Amino acid sequence: MEFFIDTANLDRIREAQDLGVLDGVTTNPSLMAKEGITGEENIIQHYLDICEICDGPVSAEVISTDFDGIVAEGEKLAALHKNIVVKVPMIRDGVKALRYFTDKGIKTNCTLVFSAGQALLAAKAGATYVSPFVGRLDDISTDGMALIEQIRLIYDNYGYETKILAASVRHTMHVIQCAEAGSDVMTGPLSAIIGLLKHPLTDIGLEKFLADHKKATQVQA
Ligand code: G3P
C-alpha cells in the first residue's frame, strides 16, 4: 500500500519524506488555507515547493464547479509539474471533466467520494485515483472502512484500474484497516504513519538489549 501524506505543511512533508516511506502528497483547499496559502501565484509556488520535496504524485484540487472552469484550472495545474494529479470533486461536471482529463492523459483524483456508486462512476470516467473519505463517514456513525471493502470488490470484479486512495484517514488503526481492506493508497496525517512504529515491547526490548550490551562491555573492560 502506498503512503501519501494529507497536508500542505512543508515541514510535515519534509519529515515524512525524511522517514523514507512517503509515496505522495494530497492537499485540498482547506489544507492550503490552513497554511495561509492564498492568491494564485502563492498557491502555484506552494505546489512546486511540495513537488520539490516529494518525488511522487501530488494532488492539487480545483475550486471551479463548472466543466469549463474545472478543465481550465486542471490543465493549468497539470502543466506545473509532471507529478501533479488534478483533484476533481464528485459532481456532474466533475465526472465530465474526469473523462476529458483521462482522454488527454492527465492524471486525476476524484475527491469527496462517500458511496460505492460514486466510486463506480469515477472508475467509469477513468479517474486515476478515487478518494473515499473514511474518517468523515465514521464521523456520522457510518462505517468508512466498509466502503473501502465495497469499492475494492467492485473494482476487482471488473478489473477497473482506478486506484483506491483512502482519504480522511485519521489514525494508525485506519491505516492498518486500509491495508487489510486492500486499499491501493492511504492518505493521512504524519501522526498516523509515525504511530505505526510504536509498540511498548519494542521499547522495553531495546532498553534491555542496550543495558545488557553496556553490562557486557563493562565486564570486558
Ligand atoms: O483531503 C481530503 C481528506 O483527506 C480530508 O480529511 O480529516 O478533513 O476529513 P479530513
pLDDT in tens, 194-214: 999 999 999 999 999 999 999
Please give the pLDDT value at position 220. Answer: 76
Mean pLDDT score across all residues of the chain: 97
Question: Model confidence over 41-67: pLDDT tens digits?
Answer: 999 999 999 999 999 999 999 999 999
Q: Is the pLDDT of residue 144 over 90?
A: yes
**Nearest ligand 1 atom to alpha carbon 187:** 4
Q: Catalytic site residues?
A: 87
Specify the residue with its C-alpha closest to ligand 1, atom 10: 168
**Nearest ligand 1 atom to alpha carbon 59:** 1
Question: Model confidence over 5-55: pLDDT tens digits?
Answer: 999 999 999 999 999 999 999 999 999 999 999 999 999 999 999 999 999
- 221 pLDDT band, cuts 50/70/90, is confident
Q: Find how far residue 37's CA is from the centre of its chain.
A: 20
Please give the pLDDT value at position 219. Answer: 82
